[in-house]
Amino acid sequence: MTMLTDSDNFGGRVADEGPREHCGVFAVYGVDNAAMTIYNGLFALQHRGQEGAGMVVSDGKSLRFCKGMGLVSEVFTGDFTEHLPGRTGIGHVRYSTTGASRSCNVQPFLAECRDGMWAIAHNGNLVNATELRDRYQKQGAIFQTTTDSEILLHQLADPAFFGAQDRIRKALVELRGSFAFVIARPNCIYAARDPWGIRPLSIGTLGKGYVVASETCALQQIGAKYLRDVNPGELVKLDDNGVKSLRFGDVPNSGYGQCVFEHIYFARPDSRVFGQSVYSVRTAIGSKLAQEHPVAADVVVPIPDSGVLAALGYAHTSGIPFEMGFIRNHYVGRTFIMPSQRSRKSSVDLKLAVVPEAVSGKRVVLVDDSIIRGTTIQRRIEMMRSAGATEVHVRISCPPTRHPCYYGIDFPEADELVATGRTVEQICRLCRADSVGYLSLDGLRSVLNQPQHFCLGCFTGGYACSAEHTVNKHALERNGDGGMAERHHRHDVLMS
């Protein structure tokens, strides 16, 4: 068998499994003790980003913030709520898809314009960020971060937009790519979603107030009632008058572009995303996978946590017993979310341990959500064999990932993807599996409501949103280190 070596590993990069993900946003309006509610909401969204967290809270007059590097529980400590009084605010958990892992890039971003304070938080990737940033820098604008998200603040302060009646809408029209924004003013909240609807964003009610969240699991966490999704191309205003809908973009001719990886991998199983239960979609995917790629085996074993539901569906349909052959160390963290290949390599082997009693002497069906770079699945197979598994058959709950994503998933280069330029048989040999089976495109479409509304570009190369601009994670950095001094905001409070 051929081993996947450093020379096979795309320029010597250390590989990891799973697409690394984007961010989570959360907002409240008219809710008592907004800071604690935001904390609880962000805690529910922690799976969407573990690099940094922050919140901005308004007492009706001033915006105050607290943010820093680390987990929600590490950033917001002690009596932080006493420093953030108010009933309105926004929050963010970060994984850096654009901009380095630096404290200055932790959101929300806060700025004072001629008409007072504005704060923004963003999930997604703006593919025309470099073009817009260059335009503002040529006009003398000074950027404080190296993320694409800051561009919206410069648009809101731009004299070309400032006097416009539809100021926010006119700014949003210029943005290309994926975005779910929440925007805080002293007396209201705005929420916006790009015209393709690439990233999810939901609205709920909590008492007489309102909540906005990247996923409905955050609404459940705080006892809010789901109201509806923010529609693609919609700007929603939340204030004492209720929910006001403002359109800024029509559905593109190419149609919606909802990210299918939200269902395959990103979202928490107890969420409803794009109108469907994530739990139901993932178990249905596993069932379809069993129909498409049956195999004689003794146990079905998931790679936790992202492979569990697909493995459960596979087991139910195939009749092969489900076993937790891997135990995850939850204190290691999610390696795909770690910002550097070095940090992922150092923790990936600590992440899972095999249960020999579950797999020894058995033929194993090993189920995972995706194979991105290839070496982690190889290590998992080796662990199975070392524990006594006689055969290891890999089943993947999505089609081969052969193309880059420019809209908020951090695998932008085709040469990082093991499936690019390789057949399934070649991938099988590289990973040292007995067999590899991927879910087909038709199989994936069959479990989705309105599959024509999903972007499948990472599988097919055909993107719903035009990709004439491309942005990688460090596109806005300067001189290799960002070109700016590190700004430490952790636990600081800003008064307007």
Q: pLDDT truncated to tens, each residue of the chain (496 aa)?
A: 333 332 333 232 223 344 444 799 999 999 999 999 999 999 999 999 999 999 999 999 999 999 999 999 999 999 999 999 999 999 999 986 544 567 889 999 999 988 899 999 999 999 999 999 999 999 999 999 989 999 999 999 888 887 677 899 999 999 999 999 999 999 999 999 999 999 999 999 999 999 999 999 999 999 999 999 999 999 999 999 999 999 999 878 778 999 999 999 999 999 999 999 999 999 999 999 999 999 999 999 999 998 999 999 999 999 999 999 999 987 765 444 444 555 555 555 688 999 999 999 999 999 999 999 888 899 999 999 999 999 999 999 999 999 988 887 766 588 889 999 999 999 999 999 999 999 999 999 999 999 999 999 999 998 877 655 444 444 454 544 433 333 333 333 332 2
Helix (H) or strand (E) holding 184: strand 177-185
Question: What pTM was computed for the model?
Answer: 0.87
Q: How many whole angstroms from its chain centre is CA 188? A: 26
Positions marked active-site: 23
| Number of residues that make up the chain | 496
What's the CATH code, domain 24-259?
Answer: 3.60.20.10
Q: Where are the chain's structural domains?
A: 24-259, 276-460
Cα separation, 349 vs 194, whole angstroms: 38
Alpha carbon 390 to its chain centroid, in Å, reads 36
Helices 424-431 & 375-386, crossing angle to 10 degrees? 50
Tell me: domain 276-460, CATH 3.40.50.10190, correct? no
Phi, psi of 83 (to 5 degrees): -90, -5
Q: Any idea what the Cα angle at residue 470 is, between residues 371 and 96, rounded to 5°? A: 60
